Structure 1
């Protein structure tokens, strides 16, 4: 196969080809291509004992790994040249920063399933751990994912399904244990003597310890229970571990009832285990933490952990030897944390949170004695992820005009390793944070994108609904790649004359426990649709909006809500673009429920489904789905298309052979957005400017 470099010019030519049969002009397509080609950073990681940082940059649709020392201009250490859907992820630096391990290929969300082949290559790439050695040579360690260096840098471990592979960096690793289920996380002890494995077996998860001093030893399983053991952290001396033990309640469980999770301590030498603390009933009795947030056992005997006891996700602490009935929470109330780290000397708590403004995430620093936090990030930045690299603090920041990029603080000096640029001939709008009320009185937040000044009014309008549903849109580029693209698309739509409202509906994150777990959400009644409907009414009430030209678009759970809007309110939403949405919410019977309870659940699931209201559906819809989707079955869109055909409801449909849920190729995002632009322009009778 001939390898060609996909330059921005090629990207624009590709966009023009896509748009040749569309109402959108070639210039529009080029502008959208330039937005999606902007460099986007992810996977930021730092070395323990040096100021070296590494991250993945996607530029012009092509992914490569960059390395920076102390915030200096980065160097590219890989040489990929195609937007072929091959992902780079799972970056890990050795403690001295001289060796880099990473994963090439696969799917970070579903690492143990068959590898994706979005580019439909003759021989699809496999999920492979590669190691960049100090001499600049890259070698293949083997199939697998999630590499982790031991604290002494002597060993590299990674997993493949239920197999644990360990070896010296630069040498071929070997399988040292296998277990039923999937290994989902690895944690080294501080002295590099043991490796703790979290193992998912479907109905439960458990923890095993592997002795690195004797590679032939059999794993030692921590006494298992009937729940989910997770979030392992070692004591500073490596002699004990702490972890979360959580139980999943039935879907009929009353909110706040039951003791559903606890903090457990296991002594490695004696094999004794005891419960340190159990979450009380009420707020926070169900364990919740963002992906990647773990426990920390400090050198002064404190266990740090996330808890929603106040109704907001805060970082709290308990003394391991003398626990109290109520943990001491370290981060301010009425704000949620997204990530945290301790400084190397453990005197400072560094974290990302939305303190004081739920729509603005910043990096903060505060002493562990609970004094007032001080902001580390700039007022115009959004920061949800931070890490340490030796003496440096690094964060991934976004802005109104900048996708995710690293910012480094070292000795109070701020460094921007990458040069931030804006595409030529494009002017970003600054989204306005707006509030409106749903029909049941909830205060709903959104971001309003207005067309450029001087664009003839009134305007067509669109509601954008995010997926998840545990997500939050921001008045800036999003740190997640999926929603970074969606933000760019909303900017582009507003530049063409649309008023766009991105709505943060209930069941999303950022606004506290009561908002995320609001009654009747999802299959229990789709109460979040009240917020989407309110967003449409908010747009219709505006004098700068044509009330008969309001559409809606979104993906995943946002696709579900798009379909629900068209099925229930074709009088308000006159067209919609539904990316890989859920259309039939019914599920098989749930264990532990009586036949009557299961039937009531099925009735609720059906009433919450878009297809339950298809008799009222009149508005045209665009359906887009990748047929190798592991998050939402491709059959969900096939089913809806069959039902639309039968009822003569107008629709346009497109499938991406081999694509996953979050499209892996930027060119596929571009084509999907051009289809969306063409469809909405036609159905809302919008002329290209």
Structure 2
């Protein structure tokens, strides 16, 4: 493949964060067809699309947009070179922008009040992530919650007199409860939606303000419920066989939207609140999702759906619930690339007891719970085929049967790609996720190694002399850990924005990541000093036995760049040599934080990855 193909693949236009306007006539979304992320507004009837911004919105489309209540402006998140220390800005059709909410730390727009005057913002301005109410006429921002644990899922009631949110005051760190309070934060009430130790959160207010759509994990798999604030009773939906995530009420309040996860696929659902009946939208297998922020509804019977498969890029659909027909509002653009060249995903499962066959050089592990682990394999068609093992980030997310740009890029270079939903991943229920508690760098990393071993044992067309690992964020932690725990398994590795020193990560990440990620999974360094040291890849840096590329954004505030620097310095102290022919290579990415969707930054990442793997694996 040529460099022209690399650039064209990275430059294919991508949509992000579609949301319906309050009147249901338009859709705001991010789109980068000009080569840069811009805010577009689409007329739902004609399909005409206009561009509101001209370089004012962020290059990285990580954070969502929301309509103002009057439909005259769109709110967006502005940061500095990807550092995610967001302020809330607004833009109008003429491209005029205004800074609306400016605070220290990270701020996120949780909700826009129907009164046209109130915004609900989550902010870490005072340390921990808590809720703030912003009054648009006066410009005043007031803190309304003050919890030690992070507050999330904030929602304004239709009359803007109440708020719903999720946090945890329990001694059980796994727990999360749904609260309702007055809009000034007074009289907070725990609704006790789920059992102690389960996670519950509000999803949407009913149109009359007397019901809440909620999600809960009491029965292990996430379920959808409607909480009646008049009777303090919950009606649960579904039969419990699948994980289902509620999304929003439809405008008439008699139905709600949800998604169901099964075998790494998502289907879109509509539930009737009175009868409990559910129907599935008539869409091809893959991943169908409603907008996660803002509104999916353009009236009572038309909804926005984003649909993708392993070989088809995301498209925005307008689905008519009354006819079960849909039209495509934003088609996927493939340029001159033939979609037939993209590799489909083979879904399979394998058994893992949390111990790999490969020698564990860092931490000796005892067998853990034996589980069926899900995986996706993308065959490049090369024979024999080098293999890239690509564990996902999170950790509580899931690789699904959807289009993956980095996956298809690697396939285009001749590598087959293995993605593993190790224990701790989302989509399989609370118990599956909690297998990772107090065990980072343990059984879940053995699941990743076992997946590679399973593929090597069962696919004779894989070249067992050319196996590499590549991951970002928690996947970057996995890449570091695989290289020091199972060095005999890998011939090269790429660790992108990954964690190497757990105590440094705890001290320097953002407050809500400290409590809701580090403490939730590992406790504090004071409580578990041995675990923090033992499961830090830098502790075992001397085990590195194959070329490693360390790649990190200098503006990353989730996983600070100190993580890469610490590992680099440890390698230097151990006598490892840096450089293209050395033991490791080190690259810091300027003007970039925790990854980026910007086209030029994707091209840069592709080129760095392609160059390293091509030289180190001899596959150009």
- Relative to the length of structure 2, the TM-score reads 0.82
Question: How far did 1:540 drift?
Answer: 2.0
8 Å contact kept, 1:401–1:476 = yes
Alignment of 1:372-451 (within 5 A): 372-376=277-281, 378-386=283-291, 387-391=296-300, 392-410=302-320, 412=323, 413-426=325-338, 427-440=341-354, 441-451=370-380
Q: Secondary structure at the match of 2:613?
A: helix
SS at match of 1:389: coil
Aligned to 2:393: 467
Deviation at 1:552, TM superposition (A): 0.9
Native 8 Å contact 1:465 1:502 kept in 2 = yes
Structure 1 residues 242-261: aligned runs within 5 Å: 242-247=164-169, 249=171, 260-261=175-176
- Which residue of structure 1 lines up, in the alignment, with residue 27 of structure 2? 53
CA contact (8 A) 1:184 1:200 kept: no
1:580 pairs, out of 469, 490, 497, with: 497
| Residues 636/296 of structure 1: CA separation in 2 closer, same or farther (3 Å cut) | same
- Write out aligned runs for 1:286-301 (5 A): 286-287=199-200, 294-299=203-208, 301=210
1:366, distance to aligned residue in structure 2 (A): 1.9
1:521-600 matches, within 5 Å, as 523=440, 525-541=441-457, 542-587=459-504
CA apart distance, 1:237: 5.1
Q: 1: distance between equivalents of 2:67 and 2:495? A: 40
Structure 1: distance between partners of 2:85 and 2:247: 28
- What residue is the counterpart of 2:192 in the other structure? 277
By how many angstroms is 1:658 displaced? Answer: 2.4
Q: Distance in 2 between matches of 1:219 and 1:132?
A: 22
Q: Secondary structure at the match of 1:277?
A: coil
Structure 1 position 628, deviation (Å): 1.7
CA distance in 2, matches of 1:670, 1:221: 41
Q: Once the two structures are superposed, what CA deviation does each residue of 1:206-229 show, in whole Å capped at 9, x if it has no partner?
A: 5566778x959x888768666555
1:182 deviation in Å? Answer: 6.9
The residue that corresponds to 1:138 in the other structure is 95
Distance 1:247 1:58, change over 3 A: farther
Check 1:554–1:264 CA distance in 2 against 1; reply closer, same or farther (3 A cut): closer
Aligned-residue RMSD, C-alpha: 3.6
Instruction: Report the counterpart of residue 103 of structure 2 in structure 1.
Output: 161
From 344, 365, 373, the equivalent of 2:251 is 344
Give the superposition deviation at 1:380.
Answer: 3.3
Question: Deviation at 1:615?
Answer: 2.6
Whole-angstrom CA distance in 2 between matches of 1:495 and 1:222: 51
Which residue is 1:18 aligned to? none
Residue 152 of structure 1 corresponds to none
Distance in 2 (CA, whole Å) between partners of 1:81 and 1:238 is 33
Q: Distance in 2 between matches of 1:571 and 1:193?
A: 61
Bigger Rg, structure 1 or 2:
1
Q: Which runs of 5+ in 1 are unaligned?
A: 1-26, 114-126, 144-157, 163-180, 478-486
How far has the Cα of 1:641 moved from its partner?
1.8
When residues 73 and 402 of structure 1 are mapped into structure 2, their CA distance, relative to the original with a 3 A threshold, is farther
Shift of 1:246: 2.0
SS at match of 1:563: helix
Contact 2:257–2:271 under 8 Å retained in 1: yes
In the other structure, the counterpart of 2:547 is: 620
Counterpart residue number, 1:314: 223
Residue matched to 1:498: 415
Structure 2 unmatched ranges of 5 or more? 355-369, 508-513, 578-582
